[in-house]
């Protein structure tokens, strides 16, 4: 098992070597350990519900994050309203891998929101108190998802048990927010 902080450092180094810019957060200083084999390949699969784009890629192989795959992930999880692309924290991807394993999903994660530009986040925050003004979506550290082949409550329960970051449960809106920030949880609508 590798500490998430070490994984983040490897991912940021891979991103820096390819020209990607990553924002670091104070939250990364106290990240818990995720149950991942240190050298095993890691695959994520997404379907962006707003753009119709899908991605199934190995983003970690041979003991390191794969720059091309991280670019692809960042593109698919871009702000669909503005088209802005931002580096997606590889620790968030690690959280999703473990969630996929724990839920047993065989379908891509259905993504409602990945990266949000400050402009988009400010607009959403102005319309809803449930949108944080300093959302981790703006740092590429959060994603709002649901499963195509499993109940939302199952995804929520798996995310809570993982204790891999923040978990927001929005049953009426039909998604679970997961992030690579501090461990905390809340419920919205």
Nearest to 139 by CA among 26, 31, 23: 23
Confidence at residue 139, expressed as pLDDT on a 0 to 100 scale: 98
> How far is residue 85's CA from residue 159's CA, in Å, rounded to a whole number?
26
Confidence at residue 32, expressed as pLDDT on a 0 to 100 scale: 59
Place of tokens 């994984």: 7
| Residue 56 to residues 47, 50, 61, 72, 113, Cα–Cα distance (Å) | 9, 17, 14, 10, 17
Its pTM stands at 0.83
Q: What is the mean pLDDT of each run of 10 residues along the chain (189 residues)?
A: 43 45 38 79 97 98 96 98 98 97 96 97 92 94 97 98 96 97 95
Interstrand relation of 64-65 and 54-61 (parallel, antiparallel or unpaired): antiparallel
CB contact at 8 A, 33 and 3: yes
Q: Which domains does the chain have, with CATH numbers?
A: 4-187 (3.30.1380.10)
């Amino acid at each position: 098992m590798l500490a998430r902080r070490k994984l983040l450092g490897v991912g940021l180094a891979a991103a820096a070597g390819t020209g990607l810019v990553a924002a670091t957060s104070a939250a990364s200083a106290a990240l818990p350990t995720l149950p991942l084999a240190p050298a095993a390949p890691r695959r994520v699969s997404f379907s962006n519900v707003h753009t119709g784009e899908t991605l199934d890629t190995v983003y970690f192989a041979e003991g390191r994050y794969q720059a091309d795959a991280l670019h692809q992930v960042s593109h698919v999880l871009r702000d669909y309203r503005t088209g802005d692309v931002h580096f997606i924290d590889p620790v968030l991807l690690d959280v999703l891998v473990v969630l996929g394993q724990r839920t047993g999903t065989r379908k891509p994660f259905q993504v409602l929101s990945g990266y949000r530009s400050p402009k988009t986040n400010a607009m959403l925050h102005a319309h809803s108190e449930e949108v944080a003004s300093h959302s981790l979506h703006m740092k590429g550290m959060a994603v709002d998802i649901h499963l195509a082949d499993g109940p939302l409550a199952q995804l929520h329960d798996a995310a809570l048990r993982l204790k891999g970051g923040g978990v927001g449960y929005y049953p009426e809106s039909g998604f679970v927010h997961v992030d690579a920030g501090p461990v905390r949880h809340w419920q919205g609508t």
